Structure 1
Amino acid sequence: MAHAREPDAFARISPEAAGYSSQRLEELRTFLQQSGSDSLLLIHDGKVFFEYGDIHKKLLLHSMRKPLLNALYGIYEARGKVDLDATLAELGIDDVPPSLTTEERMATLSDVLKSRSGVYHPAAAESEGMAQSRPARGSHPPATHYYYNNWDFNVAGRILERAMGRRIYDAFNDEIAKPLGMLDYRNRIVIPEVDGSVIDADADGFYQYEPGSSRFPAYHFRMSAYDLALFGQLYLDRGQWHGRQIVPADWIARSTRPYSEVEPQYGLAYGMLWDVLVPESADEAPSFYHTGVGIHMLGVYPKHKLVMVHRVDTEHGYRFNDGDLYQVIRMIHGARLRAAKH
Structure 2
Amino acid sequence: MKLRLLLKCIAPVFVAMSISNAHADAPLREAGLAEASPEDAGVDSRELVRLSQWIREQKLDVYSLLVVKDGKLIFERYGAGASRDSNYELYSVTKSVTSMLAGILIGQGKVSLDDSVATKLAAWRPDLRADLADKRNVELKHVLSMSSGLHYDFKPKDDPIYYAAPDRLKLAAETNPKAAPGAEFEYTDINPILAAAMLSAAAHEPVERYAKASLFDPLGMKHAVWTRADRSGLVSAGWGLRLRAVDMAKIGMLVLDHGRWQGRQIVPRTWITQMTSPGVAPYFGYYWWINNIVQNEPEFDAMGFKGQFITVLPERNTVIVMTSVMSVDGGLRDAKNLQTFRQMVNGYVIPALDNANHARPSAQRRAALRHELAISAHTKGVPGAQVDPTDLPSL
Q: Map 1:146-295 to 2 at 5 A.
A: 146-185=185-224, 204-209=225-230, 217-219=235-237, 220-261=240-281, 269-277=283-291, 286-295=298-307
Q: Map 1:133-148 to 2 at 5 A.
A: 137-148=176-187
- Give the 3 Å change call, closer, same or farther, for CA 327–293 of structure 1 in structure 2: same
- Greater mean deviation of Cα atoms: 175-184 or 235-244: 175-184
Three-state SS of the structure 2 residue aligned to 1:311 is strand
Amino acid at match of 1:184: H
Distance 2:228 2:136 in 1: 24
**In 2, are the aligned partners of 1:125 and 1:208 still within 8 Å (CA)?**
no
Which of 343, 361, 369 matches 1:327?
343
**In 2, are the aligned partners of 1:121 and 1:137 still within 8 Å (CA)?**
yes
Q: Map 1:308-327 to 2 at 5 A.
A: 308-312=320-324, 321-327=337-343
1:23 matched to which residue of 2? Answer: 46
Which of 45, 51, 71 matches 2:100?
71
Amino acid at match of 1:31: W
Distance 2:215 2:258 in 1: 14
Which of 47, 50, 56 matches 2:85?
56
Does 2:55 align with 1:35?
Answer: no
- Give the 3 Å change call, closer, same or farther, for CA 26–241 of structure 1 in structure 2: same
**In 2, are the aligned partners of 1:11 and 1:48 still within 8 Å (CA)?**
yes
Amino acid at match of 1:224: R
Unaligned runs of 5+ in 2: 1-22, 155-160, 164-174, 327-335, 358-395
2:151 matched to which residue of 1? Answer: 120
- Give the 3 Å change call, closer, same or farther, for CA 15–339 of structure 1 in structure 2: closer
Does 2:306 align with 1:297?
Answer: no
Three-state SS of the structure 2 residue aligned to 1:89 is helix
**In 1, are the aligned partners of 2:308 and 2:323 still within 8 Å (CA)?**
yes
Amino acid at match of 1:245: Q
**In 2, are the aligned partners of 1:258 and 1:277 still within 8 Å (CA)?**
no
Deviations for 1:56-106, whole angstroms, at most 9, x for unmatched residues?
Answer: 21110100001211111111111110011122222235998994562x431
Distance 1:338 1:261 in 2: 34
Which of 54, 65, 69 matches 1:44?
69
Structure number, greater radius of gyration = 2
Distance 2:339 2:312 in 1: 20
CA drift of 1:329 comes to: 2.1
**In 1, are the aligned partners of 2:115 and 2:139 still within 8 Å (CA)?**
yes
- Give the 3 Å change call, closer, same or farther, for CA 162–216 of structure 1 in structure 2: same
TM-score (norm 2): 0.67
- Give the 3 Å change call, closer, same or farther, for CA 140–19 of structure 1 in structure 2: farther
Distance 1:303 1:275 in 2: 17
Amino acid at match of 2:290: V
**In 2, are the aligned partners of 1:239 and 1:245 still within 8 Å (CA)?**
yes
Deviations for 1:299-335, whole angstroms, at most 9, x for unmatched residues?
Answer: 1111110111101268xxxxx9444323322322233
Distance 2:291 2:88 in 1: 26
**In 1, are the aligned partners of 2:104 and 2:267 still within 8 Å (CA)?**
yes
Which of 343, 353, 362 matches 1:336?
353
**In 2, are the aligned partners of 1:205 and 1:221 still within 8 Å (CA)?**
yes
**In 2, are the aligned partners of 1:35 and 1:324 still within 8 Å (CA)?**
no
- Greater mean deviation of Cα atoms: 240-249 or 89-98: 89-98
Distance 2:104 2:128 in 1: 30
CA drift of 1:51 comes to: 1.0
Deviations for 1:191-227, whole angstroms, at most 9, x for unmatched residues?
Answer: xxxxxxxxxxxxx22234399xxx9752511111011
Amino acid at match of 1:18: A
Amino acid at match of 1:171: Y
CA drift of 1:21 comes to: 1.9
Which has the higher relative contact order, 1 or 2, with Cα contacts under 8 A spaced 6 or more apart? 2
Deviations for 1:34-57, whole angstroms, at most 9, x for unmatched residues?
Answer: 312111110011011111012321
Between Structure 1 and Structure 2, which shows a larger proportion of helix residues? 2
Distance 1:86 1:273 in 2: 17
Distance 2:185 2:67 in 1: 31
Unaligned runs of 5+ in 1: 127-135, 186-203, 263-268, 315-319
Distance 1:160 1:280 in 2: 32
2:383 matched to which residue of 1? Answer: none
Q: How many residues align?
A: 293
- Greater mean deviation of Cα atoms: 19-28 or 92-101: 92-101
Distance 2:320 2:207 in 1: 25
Amino acid at match of 2:72: K
1:198 matched to which residue of 2? Answer: none
Distance 1:68 1:52 in 2: 23
- Give the 3 Å change call, closer, same or farther, for CA 142–210 of structure 1 in structure 2: farther
Three-state SS of the structure 2 residue aligned to 1:24 is helix
- Give the 3 Å change call, closer, same or farther, for CA 150–216 of structure 1 in structure 2: farther
CA drift of 1:12 comes to: 2.2
Distance 1:166 1:178 in 2: 16
1:195 matched to which residue of 2? Answer: none
- Give the 3 Å change call, closer, same or farther, for CA 101–338 of structure 1 in structure 2: farther
